[in-house]
Amino acid sequence: LTLIEDHRVAPFVDIFYGDESRICETGYVPYGWQFENEEVCIEVNRGKALNCFGLISRKSVLHFATTTKKITAAFVLEQLDRFSWTITKPTVVVLDNARIHTANKIKERLKYWQKRGLYIFYLPPYCPHLNICERLWKELKARWIKPEDYINSDNLFYRVKQILNAVGKELIINFSEFKI
């Protein structure tokens, strides 16, 4: 993979990293602290969630789709198929080994995508740190969605889509800042 990302090859091949994430009304609180005798709380709503599938490049070019339904192999296949029609040069999509990425229906489509110039590269098991799309979801949940966005599901889902549409334009992730 490092050879493909080498500057001598980069003008000839695009690389995107794919993954999915779930944004729900319960909010994202990775850690917190409070003063002694201070009460801190975040209102929690349960129930609705927005599932996101994204393909992101190191230049923060993002292709994404959202659904309130479960993300299945059929959903991933549909998104990769749509993506395959948009590429203009050989493109590698890096995915983890989730069942929805390695399902038979995905594998059956590989030869058709390859004819269009789309190639799938599967990461070794237990290597999420090699998929930069994980950083996208971390930035989305930890920095870009604000507590006030959780007022209700309509507001939250609108905000998530607004943020994802801004990635690569107003919101840029400098992946070279993050250590593996």
pLDDT per residue, tens digit, the chain (180 aa), is 444 454 455 578 999 999 999 998 876 665 666 778 887 766 665 678 999 999 999 999 999 999 999 999 999 999 999 999 999 999 999 999 999 999 999 999 999 999 999 999 999 988 888 899 999 999 999 899 998 888 889 999 999 999 999 999 999 888 775 554
Q: What is the pLDDT of residue 141?
A: 93
Please provide residue 64's backbone torsions phi and psi, each rounded to the nearest 5 degrees: -145, 160
- What pTM value is reported for the model? 0.83
Distinct helix (H) and strand (E) counts, the chain: 6, 5
